[in-house]
Amino acid sequence: MPGTVNAMRIVIFGATGPTGRRLIEQAVEAGHEVAAVTRRAGAIEPRAGLSVVTADATDPDAVERTVAGSDAVLSSLGVRPSRKPITVYSEGTATIMAAMHRHGVKRLIAVSSSVMDPAWRPSGEFLFNNVMDPLVNRRVARTAHTDMRRMEALVRGADLDWTIVRPAGLFDHPAVTRYQVARDVADGLFTARADLAASMLAQLSDDRFVRRAMAVITTEVRPSLVRLIWREAVKKR
């Protein structure tokens, strides 16, 4: 159950992404010792409580050096939607888990997507369920979601204390809200990145979702669906 989190050494993969940056901010503020992994040198400035590792998540040697001695690994690996084949989720996660096994690190919290659950059809969202979901999730982002399924299968088969975190449509909001979590799937269309990061860090002291998938949704604030799709799936491509 949730409790007070002692300071831990945590490794964050996907650290330069919008969710990864939220994770860094919240983790450092909570007093954790954070190692942020990024492929781009200089993309993150080290500071008190934060070290920066320039490495690719698929580089076994670099990942092993970073994971060694840590208490937990948080992965927010991600790529922009594309019709091209995508392997970063499965290959990166496989490399991370191999390093965790080698160094005896058990706790893994990895971001996936609500789309992974076939039962996810948010109530009252006709436009999304009948237009946006088939167009964006099933076509534009199909290759990313195919690789997420590979990733989830790998994680579920691992002898680790894993939690798969499934946000809905991600958007930016400046503060953490009273987000909701549920096993496997939640009835909601949106997840603020601040809430996603907070829900992941909360799992460091919560055993309800160990070896389970956890859906997280934001209900207190709501972005425009059309603007969200344009900004997240079209404009950033």
Residue 49: how many other CB atoms lie within 10 Å? 15
Mean pLDDT of 100-106: 98
Q: What is the mean pLDDT of residues 34-60?
A: 95
Residue 228, pLDDT above cutoff 80: no
Q: What is the pLDDT of residue 84?
A: 86
Taking 60 as the threshold, does the pLDDT of residue 218 lie above it? yes
In DSSP terms, which residues pair with 163 in a beta bridge?
109, 212
Classify 190 as helix, strand or coil.
strand
Question: How much is the pLDDT for 6?
Answer: 86
How far is the CA of 218 from the CAs of 26, 43, 147, 180, in angstroms?
A: 17, 29, 25, 7
Region of 124 (left: φ > 0; alpha: ψ -120 to 50; beta: rest) is left
Percent above pLDDT 70 for the chain: 92
Q: Measure the CA–CA gap between 160 and 222, rounded to whole angstroms.
A: 35
- Tokens standing for 18? 């919008």
Separation CA 64–CA 120 (nearest Å): 36
Tens digit of pLDDT for each residue in 160-198?
999 999 999 999 999 999 999 999 999 999 999 999 999
Domain locations along the chain = 9-235
Q: How confident is the model at residue 1 (pLDDT cuts 50, 70, 90)?
A: very low
Query: Model confidence over 7-31: pLDDT tens digits?
Result: 999 999 999 999 999 999 999 999 9
Residue 97 host element (H or E):
helix 88-103
**pTM (global) more than 0.75:** yes
CATH 3.30.470.10 assigned to domain 9-235? The reply is no
CB of 192 closer than 8 Å to CB of 221: yes
Q: Would you say residue 5 has pLDDT above 70?
A: no
Q: Kindly state the tokens that stand for 81.
A: 């939607």
Which residue's entry shows tokens 């290959």? 91
